[in-house]
Structure 1
Amino acid sequence: MTNGKNGKTFTTQQGLNSYIKNICDIMRRSNCAGALQYVPELSWILFLKILDDTEQREAEEAEAVGDRFDDSIAEPYRWRDWAAPQGTQRLKLQMGEMGKFIPFVNDEVIPYLKGLKDKPRATPRQKIISEVMSNVERVRIDSEANLLDILDKVHEIDYIDTTHIFPISQVYEGLLLKMGEKNNDGGQFFTPREIVRAMIKIINPKVGEKIYDPACGTGGFLAQSYEYIRDNLGDDITPEQLEPLKLNTFYGREKENLIYPIALANLVLHGIDLPHLWHGNTLNGEVTYGDLFKDAPPLFDIILTNPPFGGKEHKTVQAQFDYKTSATQVLFLQHVIKSLAPGGRCGIVLDEGVLFRTNEKAFVQTKRKLLNDCNLYCIISLPAGTFKAAGGGVKANILFFSKGEPTEKIWYYDLSDISVTKRKPLNLSDFEEFFKLFPSREESDKSWTITREEIEAKNFDLKAVNPNAQSFEDKSTPKELLDLIESKGKEVAGALSVLRKWE
């Protein structure tokens, strides 16, 4: 099925990936040189295309049962009007004076879409459209020919055989990862998907639970939670089960102007019709746009998050917290504890410094609060290079806890001995033994348990120190070490001698 549009049908992953890469290549040579330029541009273009397909399908379904359907976007600002190859507005512009297409998009389409949220009785979908467009001031593509080429290629993505390949949403996630490559700032907004999937598997979210990420970045935890719940329901999923998933399950906050609209686009591309995302600073409460979040519950059943590492907050922000510190991640941990409902579950990524630091009062107080109010039942020590592919190199850990009962003991699992690089990232298969041992909290060469008494004796130092790890001790004598140095020196001298002959 191709919706009658004669678009391309994709049946292989390689074909779809290659096609999307080709679109990005056009963007790269059209004033969008890096991922931080072309990913946001492709985000709103893809979003408008998928939205138009969705609304055309919904209109057909409404007509079939005799219901009325109102488009969120009026003529001539719908994708089918100005972006589709046979769109009436596009044909009108192309038959007129040359060079009118980009000004129409810049001066009419974009301002109209950004203003939808201000319409009287604006719908949630219209508000989402405006927010996806909130960071778009103009088309970045440098020529009309290149823009039309990109629009035509995006328009052709009509059908993807998801029994054999990933849907467009997961291909899009691959583009988001590129925002964290080559030390782009985008890395701070992207958690490696294998980490996300491992955390979701342990937390095991279900239909009816409210899921929250207070530092949602591009929306990975929320998007993957949706896919996890939907996939677990299987082929027998009913409209009654699917509707709350799409409309009343996922909540998040994001501060960065560049990333917030990308998160909205990402969640909609995954199938979440109403992502309740709040645009603003989670820690100080300053809101840029909060209408999509206004019906959020005060507490959440599940929190999945990877708050930013290493940030510093002003004293005015610290004043809003029980334990004052400039360390952003510690303030986020306090926010998470406070936002979790009784009986709620949390998976959170924290840098190692939060775990081992005992020289600052707020660090100790926050960890004591965590252990008093919550059952911190598991800590995974991640490899040092886990976040390299996403632009970060900080050693981190995953903490799992539930609210309502104090911590009596913590089960640790050590993955730190795995070598991780940009070309060899951490995979879900690396968690295989962890998943096997986790239900019974078995001890092994990589897992162990410590008690509350041991934790308090170390002044709440929670760092993972594997008691079973084998340490290497070099027992060479001073003479043996000197002989080794001399031998290596001779090898170097010999190599230099050969090289000098070629001078």
Structure 2
Amino acid sequence: MSTAQNQAETRRLVDKLWSYCNVLRDEGVSTIDYVEQLTFLLFLKIAHERETDPLAPERILPSSWQGRGWEELEGTQGDELKHRYERLLADLGDQPEGTPLNLIFGKAQNRVQNTANLSKLINDLINKEIWSGKGTDVNGDAYEQLLSRGAADTKTGAGQYFTPRPLVDAMVRCMRPTPQDTITDPACGTGGFLLAAYAHIVDKHAAELDRDELRALASKNIWGTELVHGTARLAAMNLLLHGIGSWDGGQVIHVEDALAMGGRKSSLVLANPPFGKKSSITVVGEDGKATREDVAYSRNDFWVTTTNKQLNFVQHIAKQLDIPGRAAVVLPDNVLFEGGAGETIRRNLLHDYDVHTLLRLPTGIFYAGGVKANVLFFDSKVPTPGQPLTSKLAVYDFRTNQHFTLKTKALRADHLDDFVDWYLSADRPEDRKPNDLVQIFDYDELVARDKVNLDLIGWVKDDSAEDADSLLPPEVIAAEIVEDLQAALSEFAAVAEALGTTAKEDESTD
């Protein structure tokens, strides 16, 4: 297919998939739950197509499952279809841990209780399409678009696992991943960074790679970690549909707590860690009541022990980098200025790594409301005894005078083109082409600031503050007010949580 044909086929497929999503929403099935059901069914259908391919049959389900799988579902109706589907999900979920089958089907549940709708989904939507023949571009892009729409379903909170694709692509363009890189995301969500990195490598280097090198890239050099099993299954399917990983071999998405272990070293980390501040687990007592307990990770490679999840991810990502290595990480504002553990981490990061670029992001681009965030770029290098690795930090202000909303003015790739062009104009920030949105700070100036505060702002004129002719549309103003209020509430909630923790500690010492 040509590019135009691929795009047209993707649109057709997305429209068809989305029409069924609208039907199921009336049944109470959320967008993300719908995508999860598609994940189960697409896996079974593609497995069936590959196993019955007359030219090159490939067995994906266990050999003992002859006659089981998609064959049990197609053409079946009513309660019998529902019974067979739920039995399949349970049996597939019981496959050994560490296998693609367990990752995709572990803890799987049928969310489509209406048998008529389940029959339409299986027999009309999935069964009437040939999924193996469409190519990874069509299948993967259609699935990715559904995940994007699912992220906008605020009732499910799915947006916390989804980074805006224009931002992902800009970060990848700046990092310029190569076939020699080992690439990871320790909080991979639905796998957007891993997909973008792989696509960049294939686009720029495919001509110089043979089949074995491409296979190694897709199965060994790219991997992600995700704490939530349901999200990990979406990431795994997303990658499989894009040609990353293996349908019947080792998996590239690992369901585990990345902060609890050092993990495999990598030359490139791309990440948008969770914005929640506290690391916690749910504990069910003997009385059956669930409580949440804060978790502090005692890793001997961390600079400081803290229960702050965001700060722990900064430490983890820094320690996961090989030498040489590079990282691009989305971080909320508070990571730049919080005292205590935050100051310790920033001071060590500036000394032990080359922290060279900070991109200040505008509000209104994330599905999680009230987020003020940045992208921090830093490299790991061979240390020079007695000398800090950071020499200069360039701060690019893409926040002042920028106004985005998810619906009326969404972030596009071209909005970040100027930043990417500036970033790629030279390796060192001080050598990049001049830009009015950039200010450069020396290492000595940074560590001399109170609490090593990296929340560096103030040189870009805010046009809206003085120019009455530049008043924004009411819907944009309203959206920004909501963002500011949500951000303030988040900070108050964090303070209240901290005070509550302190009070508990005081009670325990009485």
TM category (shorter chain) comes to 0.7 to 0.9
Distance in 2 between residues matched to 1:157 and 1:343, nearest whole Å: 46
Distance in 2 between residues matched to 1:246 and 1:175, nearest whole Å: 23
- In the alignment, structure 1 segments of 5+ residues that lack a partner are 2-8, 63-68, 119-123, 286-295, 477-503
1:18/1:458 CA distance change after superposition, 3 Å = same
Residue pairs, 1:100-249, within 5 angstroms? 100-107=80-87, 109-117=88-96, 127-137=99-109, 139-152=110-123, 153-158=125-130, 167-184=138-155, 185-234=157-206, 237-249=209-221
What residue in structure 1 maps to residue 439 of structure 2? 448
- 1:248 shift after superposition: 0.5
- Equivalent in 420, 423, 427 of residue 404 of structure 2: 420
Distance in 1 between residues matched to 2:236 and 2:309, nearest whole Å: 24
Residue pairs, 1:286-435, within 5 angstroms? 298-313=264-279, 316-320=295-299, 321-357=302-338, 360-387=339-366, 390-404=367-381, 406-416=389-399, 417-423=401-407, 424-435=409-420
- Equivalent in 32, 38, 44 of residue 34 of structure 2: 38
Distance in 2 between residues matched to 1:51 and 1:227, nearest whole Å: 24
Q: Secondary structure at the match of 1:283?
A: helix
Residue 72 (1) aligns with residue 61 (2): yes
Q: Is the 8 A contact 2:10 2:139 kept in 1?
A: no
1:232/1:458 CA distance change after superposition, 3 Å = same
The structure number with the bigger radius of gyration is 1
Distance in 2 between residues matched to 1:56 and 1:271, nearest whole Å: 20
Q: Is the 8 A contact 1:302 1:340 kept in 2?
A: yes
1:203/1:52 CA distance change after superposition, 3 Å = farther
Distance in 2 between residues matched to 1:278 and 1:105, nearest whole Å: 26
TM-score by length of 1: 0.78
Deviations 1:61-106 (A, max 9, x none): 36xxxxxx54434223232x12345xxxx5xxx6xxx632211221
1:392/1:76 CA distance change after superposition, 3 Å = farther
Q: Is the 8 A contact 2:183 2:268 kept in 1?
A: yes
TM-score by length of 2: 0.77
What residue in structure 2 maps to residue 495 of structure 1? none
1:370/1:83 CA distance change after superposition, 3 Å = same
- 1:475 shift after superposition: 12
- 1:43 shift after superposition: 2.1
Give 1:60's aligned amino acid: L
- 1:20 shift after superposition: 1.4
Q: Is the 8 A contact 1:334 1:366 kept in 2?
A: yes
- In the alignment, structure 2 segments of 5+ residues that lack a partner are 281-293, 384-388, 427-431, 469-510
1:240/1:318 CA distance change after superposition, 3 Å = closer
Deviations 1:241-271 (A, max 9, x none): 2111221122221111321211111111111
What percentage of residue pairs aligned between the two structures are identical? 27
Distance in 1 between residues matched to 2:296 and 2:232, nearest whole Å: 21
Q: Is the 8 A contact 1:11 1:160 kept in 2?
A: no
What residue in structure 2 maps to residue 21 of structure 1? 18
Q: Is the 8 A contact 1:212 1:252 kept in 2?
A: yes
1:257/1:297 CA distance change after superposition, 3 Å = closer
Q: Is the 8 A contact 1:160 1:167 kept in 2?
A: no
Q: Is the 8 A contact 2:328 2:375 kept in 1?
A: yes
Deviations 1:306-335 (A, max 9, x none): 111132136652433431332211011001
Residue 280 (1) aligns with residue 256 (2): yes
Q: Root-mean-square deviation (CA), in Å?
A: 2.9
